[in-house]
Amino acid sequence: MRATRQSSTRAESDDMTMQQVMEMMQGLQEAMAASKAEQEHIQVDLAASQAMNAKLCRANEELCRELCNHPGNRETEDRECFTQPREFPTPCSQSIMEAVIPRMFVGPKVTFTGMEDPEAHLTAFHTQMMLVGRL
């Protein structure tokens, strides 16, 4: 009689464990399905965002072309309408770049008022940032 009770208790314990495992699997399957749905939604949003980005790039290029071709545009006489982003290679050797700058060092302040040449300002700003180790 005792062996029968132990085996039935053990069977109930095994059934409970199996039920818990099945519930856990069902929960994981639901979470996986929700994750897949969210991933699909993100992919749709990404595709829409990329399409909008391409559309905006085309509109921007068209506006730039119109601006360059505008009869009263002075910039087209002075320089090319489409300029590539500037590269800022460092003129300093590696040993200079690795030198430790004193903590109390304060470099010159470079400000842009809009009256200066933007290219000269960017060069000065980049040089200052290189000197203080921010780039």
What the block records as the tokens of 15 is: 């059934």
pLDDT for residue 79: 47
Contacts of 97 (CB under 8 A, 6+ apart): 90, 130
- What's the pLDDT at 135? 45
* Buried residues in 99-119 as b, exposed as e (16+ CB within 10 A): eeeeeeeeeeebeeeeeeeee
pLDDT in tens, 89-134: 666 677 777 777 777 777 667 777 888 888 888 887 877 777 766 5
Q: Is the pTM of this model over 0.75?
A: no
The C-alpha atoms of residue 25 and residue 16 are separated, in whole angstroms, by: 14
Residues in the chain: 135
Beta strands (DSSP E) in the chain are none
pLDDT of residue 73: 61
**pLDDT attached to residue 124:** 79
What is the token pair recorded at 53?
């980005």
Q: 63: closest CA among 74, 52, 73?
A: 73
pLDDT (tens digit, 9 = 90+) per residue, 10-68?
656 666 788 899 999 999 999 999 999 999 999 998 899 889 988 988 888 888 788 87
pLDDT at 94: 74
Of 45 and 69, the one with more pLDDT: 45
Contact in structure between 133 and 101 (CB atoms under 8 Å): yes
Q: Is the pLDDT of residue 1 over 70?
A: no
Q: What is the predicted pLDDT for the residue at 133?
A: 62
For the chain, domain boundaries: 2-75, 84-131
Residue 118 near residue 124, CB atoms below 8 Å: no
